[in-house]
Every structure is written in structure tokens, then in C-alpha cells.
Amino acid sequence: MKIAKRLFVFLFVASIALTSALSVSAANVTGWDENAAPAANVEAQLGLGNSPPQVMAAKVINWALGFLGIIAVVIILMGGFKWMTAGGNEDKVGEAKKLMAAGLIGLIIILAAWGVATYVVSSLLTSTGASTS
């Protein structure tokens, strides 16, 4: 069972790593304006934004909490799978219930953290006058 759990975690991490890769085209310099300011050329060619640090921090926080939420849901699903395959063994059912409870508590904590972070970031953006676009 430990091998199956390790294989599942490895495949989960590998699938995230392989599906989140972005395509890169370093030789694509069409539309390069030699007379424009260097920063404008870099921003235009690389697709970089000029958003304030508060907005970038909000995006990172949302991404991280979303990733943690996915992990919590996977833990709940693992508990359900363990319960389904327990075969009536009360010890395994107890372990599965504990796993599902831990995942649910983690999900509640993550959702609460997301709510607090959303409130703090929106207050920060309002007080500094930064826009979310």
C-alpha cells in the first residue's frame, strides 16, 4: 500500500509539473521597435505586465491557496478510497474517517485563510489606490 501511495503522489506531482509548462519562443522578435524605450520593448515582447507588487502578491496568494485546496480535496478523496477498500475492517475504516476529517479540517482552514487574505489584500489595494487589472 505504501508503494501505491508513493506512486500516486509521484504521478500527481509529475502531472502538475508536466502540464504547467509554458511554451517559449526566444527567437520570435517580430514587431521589435528599435526606437522605443528598452523597457517597453521587453514588456511588449515578453508579455510582461506592469501591475503593482500588491496585485502580484494577491495573485501568488490566490495560486498558493488554490493549490493547497486541491491537496486537501485529494486527501479527502484518498480517505474515501481507503474507506471503500476497507472491506469491513473497522481499523481501516477508522483510519479512513480520520484521514477524511483531517482533509476537511484542512479545507476549512484553507478557505478561512483565503477569506482573510482576500480581505487584507482588497483593503491594501484600496488604501494604496492600486487597481486589480
- Give the start-to-end residue ranges of the domains of the chain: 51-133
- The mean per-residue pLDDT over the stretch 30-50 comes to 60
Q: Which of 84, 85, 78 is nearest to 101 (CA)?
A: 78
Q: How far apart are CA 54 and CA 125, in angstroms?
A: 7
pLDDT digits (tens, 9 = 90+) for 67-115: 999 999 999 999 999 999 998 899 999 999 999 999 999 999 999 999 9
Which residues are CB-neighbours of 128 under 8 A, at least 6 positions away?
52, 54
What is the pTM assigned to this prediction?
0.58
Q: How far is CA 113 from CA 44, 46, 82, 108, in A?
A: 35, 33, 28, 9
The answer to whether the beta carbons of residues 72 and 86 sit under 8 Å apart is: no
pLDDT band at 7 (very low <50, low <70, confident <90, very high): confident
pLDDT digits (tens, 9 = 90+) for 12-35: 777 776 666 555 555 555 555 555
CA 130 to chain centre: 24
Let me know how long the chain is: 133
pLDDT over 60 (residue 40): no
